[in-house]
Structure 1
Amino acid sequence: MSILRVNEFKALPGRFEDLVKAFEAVVRQIRTVDGCERCELLLKIADGLDADDTLIVLEVWTSISAHKQAASAVDPNDFNRIMALLSTRPVGQYYEAVAE
């Protein structure tokens, strides 16, 4: 059964667009990794609240170990660029579907 990873990233004030651009490159890299079934960059849409400069990266993997190995596929310069644009530590969690 596939596992789902939901990752949340919050940009420094005024740096949200830079963070989105940096993640576009990383998401393309992740999609090429063995075991990656899906990787999407999600942006909050209008809901009546002010934008909070948070984005989500949604990943579907064949296993947790496949996800953990994926970090080696990301260019370290891209990773460092992303970390420099964050206002807080990234938050991420694994999920699995409930069998019906």
Structure 2
Amino acid sequence: MSATRINRFVAKAGQADALKLFLTELIPYITASPGCESCELLQQESQKTEFFIVEKWHDKAAHQASVAGFPKDKIQSAMALLAEAPQGNYYQRC
């Protein structure tokens, strides 16, 4: 069953551009992952420190395999840019 994953990221003050760059560089990795149908990065209009990544996957397992393969050192370096822990959930079309 297909799955949509919506992830929320909030940058620390002064780190929005750096977080945006990191997330932008993450998109090709996501879209090249087996089972990824689409991926889009969004930035909140009035709160420029808030970002969302909306991912559509063939199934939840494909997303989880993609996350497991992403380099951990890159994730650790991005954590320094965040004001709070990233949030994410799976959604299904109604």
Question: Is the shorter-chain TM-score for this pair beyond 0.5, marking a shared fold?
Answer: yes
Alpha-carbon distance in 1 for matches of 2:25, 2:82: 16
Identity %: 30
TM-score, with length taken from structure 2: 0.91
In structure 2, the partner of 1:81 is 77
Match of 2:60, as an amino acid? Answer: I
Q: Does the Cα contact within 8 Å between 1:30 and 1:73 map onto a contact in 2?
A: no
Q: Does the Cα contact within 8 Å between 1:37 and 1:62 map onto a contact in 2?
A: yes
In structure 2, the partner of 1:7 is 7
Q: Structure 2: any 5+ residue segments left out of the alignment?
A: none
TM-score, with length taken from structure 1: 0.86
The one-character-per-residue Cα deviations of 1:49-85 (angstroms, maximum 9, x if unpaired) are 5x25110010000111111000134233321222111
Alpha-carbon distance in 1 for matches of 2:11, 2:93: 29
Q: Does the Cα contact within 8 Å between 2:16 and 2:48 map onto a contact in 1?
A: no
Alpha-carbon distance in 2 for matches of 1:24, 1:58: 13
Q: Does the Cα contact within 8 Å between 1:4 and 1:94 map onto a contact in 2?
A: yes
In structure 1, the partner of 2:61 is 65
RMSD of the alignment, in Å?
A: 1.3
Structure showing greater Rg: 1
* Alignment of structure 1 residues 6-25 onto 2, 5 Å: 6-25=6-25
- Runs of 4+, deviation exceeding 2 Å: 72-78
Q: Does the Cα contact within 8 Å between 1:30 and 1:74 map onto a contact in 2?
A: no
* Alignment of structure 1 residues 83-98 onto 2, 5 Å: 83-98=79-94
Alpha-carbon distance in 1 for matches of 2:69, 2:30: 7
